[in-house]
């Protein structure tokens, strides 16, 4: 099938690559010429495991192309995937300007029946807005949106985890489709059913529902996962106060099949492109409809506060004035296996350390280039602070002479360490662990002053 993908971010690029991988003819559109140049020259503008390999193969086979030509993109695909960003607006609602501009372009250049798939995360009612915009453009061209010039808008939310997006797309646990009951909707349903048939061979994973329910499902899913994270983070702070171990608590409640273990790990707050903005957008949708989602409002508040917890532990141990202190920071991306720095906890932590006069040596396995770009923007008006932030090329390079190690992202390479070497490199054997990678008892036995999230802080044995 001929497919057009509008937007080459995480969702659009993974969607396009995976659909090309199973044999479709895919054209990916982006208005960012820099991105398209990178892709046309064999590069990949984002870090996503497995994506480079798929793009290399599909490029060589001629099944995927990249363009900035909007007219070419619209004319190419019988199915048009809208996979553009929906950043938070000033009031927390999703900004739909890019979605509606994509819809407007489809209406301007549509040359036959089009299936318009909303892959972007959009609030309830967006499909109707997209439909109205396309009709407006077709009408301006003197085209009646019926028969061969008809179209249908299908919400098809993505459920891709950054760092595992290729595998999630190729082996989906569900495919959610919002389908209209009219004639155009049924034609679109059959086309999209054929497109997704290769993913349903073992059993049908497709969930058909009405359009508004499909739009709602994505926000509901992310809100639930964010709630689990904030719930455990809130409990971890109480565990600190009462002397309980949140890891033991996690095992105790996760063993209940009604609860399960997923997204129950305490840490220093969630980030990324989805949870923060989707929680805000769903809460704002509720307010616009005269309702308050009080639990979600608390989820956001807890997460905002959780990003300060490590800073609190550091200042309690070392004081508010951190001048003449140096910290090694391991992990900058908001989660492992990605270079995404959006809403990353490291940004809040490092900003707070620099504000208090500290020097920071920071390392991340894949996010160094993006981190340099992001912190240059974050600290554009604070040149003296930016001078005290140094990015290093290995985890070991961050350690020499540092007063403490701070762990922010749970990359695998951080999990097993030569702790004797680590102690010898640090001025003081102190670790602040925002992801609970190590066992407090083992750290105490090794003579390391270890501060984790919701886990016991054990006094070191007397020298």
SS (H, E, C) the chain: CEEEEECCCHHHHHHHHHHHHCCCEEEEECCCHHHHHHHHCCCCCCCCCCHHHHHHHHHHCCCEEEECCHHHHHHHCCEEEECCCCCECCCCCECCHHHHHHHHHHHHHCCCCEEEEECCCCCCCHHHHHHHHHHHHHHHCCCCCCHHHCEEEEECCCCCCCCCHHHHHHCCCCEEEECCCCHHHHHHHHHHHHHHHHHHCCCCCEEEECHHHHHHHHHHHHHHHHHHHHHHHHHHHHHHHHCCCHHHHHHHHHCCCCCCCCCCCCCCCCCCCCHHHHHHHHHHHHHHCCCCCHHHHHHHHHHHHHCCHHHHHHHHHHCCCCCCCEEEEECCCCCCCCCCCCCCHHHHHHHHHHHCCCEEEEECCCCHHHHHHHHHHHCCCCHHHHHCEEECCCCHHHCCCCCEEEECCCCHHHCCCCHHHHHHHCCCCEEEECCCCCCHHHHHHCCCEEECCCCCCCCCCCC
Positions marked active-site: 274
Q: How many CB atoms lie within 10 A of CB 462?
A: 4
The residue whose two tokens read 């008892």 is 441
CB 68 within 8 A of CB 29: yes
Domain locations in the chain as residue ranges: 2-209, 219-304, 307-451
Sheet holding 389-391, edge to edge: 389-391, 359-363, 326-330, 404-407, 430-433, 449-451
Those residues with Cβ within 8 angstroms of residue 439's Cβ, 6 or more apart along the chain or in another chain: none
What pLDDT does residue 47 have? 93
What confidence tens digit (pLDDT) does each residue in 243-263 have? 999 999 999 999 999 999 999
Topology of the domain covering 2-209: Rossmann fold (3.40.50)
What confidence tens digit (pLDDT) does each residue in 401-447 have? 999 999 999 999 999 999 999 999 999 999 999 999 999 999 999 99
Please say if the pLDDT value at position 462 is more than 80.
Answer: no
What confidence tens digit (pLDDT) does each residue in 167-177 have? 999 999 999 99
What pLDDT does residue 201 have? 85
Q: Cα(403)–Cα(399) distance, rounded to whole angstroms? A: 9
Write down the pTM of the prediction.
0.92
What confidence tens digit (pLDDT) does each residue in 446-457 have? 999 999 999 999
C-alpha separations of 172 from 164, 213, 351 in Å: 11, 19, 38
**Confidence band (pLDDT; 50, 70, 90) for 203?**
confident
What confidence tens digit (pLDDT) does each residue in 249-299 have? 999 999 999 999 999 999 999 999 889 999 999 999 999 999 999 999 999
Same fold, 219-304 and 307-451: no
The residue whose two tokens read 């640090």 is 426
Region 219-304: CATH code: 1.10.1040.10
CATH number assigned to the domain with residue range 307-451, chosen from the 4 options 3.40.640.10, 3.30.70.1450, 3.40.50.720, 1.10.10.10: 3.40.50.720
Least confident range of 54-58, 238-242, 273-277, 437-441: 273-277
């Amino acid at each position: 099938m001929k497919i057009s993908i509008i937007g080459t971010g995480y969702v659009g690029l993974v969607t396009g690559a995976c659909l090309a991988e199973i044999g479709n003819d895919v054209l990916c559109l982006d208005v960012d010429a820099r991105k398209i140049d990178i892709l046309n020259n064999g590069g990949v503008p984002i870090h996503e495991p497995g994506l480079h390999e798929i793009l290399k193969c599909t490029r060589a086979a001629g099944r995927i192309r990249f363009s900035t030509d909007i007219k070419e993109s619209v004319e190419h695909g019988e199915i048009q995937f809208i996979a553009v960003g929906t950043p938070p607006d000033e009031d927390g609602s999703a900004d739909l300007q890019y979605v509606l501009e994509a819809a407007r372009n489809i209406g301007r250049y549509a040359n036959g029946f089009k299936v318009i798939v909303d892959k972007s995360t959009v609030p309830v009612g967006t499909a109707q807005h997209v439909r109205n915009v396309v009709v407006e453009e077709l009408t301006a061209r003197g085209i009646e949106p019926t028969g061969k010039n008809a179209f249908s808008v299908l919400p098809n939310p993505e459920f891709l985890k950054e760092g595992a997006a290729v595998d999630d797309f190729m082996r989906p646990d569900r495919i959610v489709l919002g389908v209209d009951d009219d004639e155009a909707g049924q034609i679109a349903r059959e086309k999209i059913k054929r497109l997704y048939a290769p993913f349903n061979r073992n059993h049908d994973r497709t969930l058909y529902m009405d359009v508004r329910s499909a739009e709602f499902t994505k926000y509901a899913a992310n809100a639930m996962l964010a709630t689990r994270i904030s719930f455990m983070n809130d409990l971890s702070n109480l565990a600190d106060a009462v002397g309980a171990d949140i890891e033991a608590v996690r095992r105790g409640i996760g063993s209940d099949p009604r609860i399960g273990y997923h997204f129950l790990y305490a840490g220093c707050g969630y980030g990324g492109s989805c949870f923060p903005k989707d929680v805000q957008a769903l809460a704002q949708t509720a307010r616009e409809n005269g309702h308050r989602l009080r639990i979600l409002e608390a989820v956001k508040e807890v997460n905002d506060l959780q990003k300060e917890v490590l800073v609190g532990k550091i200042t309690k141990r070392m004081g508010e004035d951190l001048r003449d202190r140096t910290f090694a920071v391991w992990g900058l991306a908001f989660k492992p296996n990605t270079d995404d720095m959006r809403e990353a906890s490291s940004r809040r932590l490092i900003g707070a350390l620099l504000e208090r006069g500290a020097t920071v040596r920071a390392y991340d396995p894949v996010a160094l280039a993006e981190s340099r770009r992001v912190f240059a923007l974050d600290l554009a008006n604070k040149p003296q602070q930016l001078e005290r932030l140094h990015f290093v090329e290995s985890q070991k390079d961050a350690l020499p002479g540092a007063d403490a190690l701070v762990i922010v992202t749970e990359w695998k390479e951080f999990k097993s360490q030569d702790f004797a070497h680590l102690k010898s490199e640090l001025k003081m054997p102190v670790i602040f662990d925002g992801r609970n990678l190590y066992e407090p008892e083992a750290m105490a036995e090794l003579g390391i002053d270890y501060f984790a999230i919701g886990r016991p802080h054990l006094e070191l044995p007397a020298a």
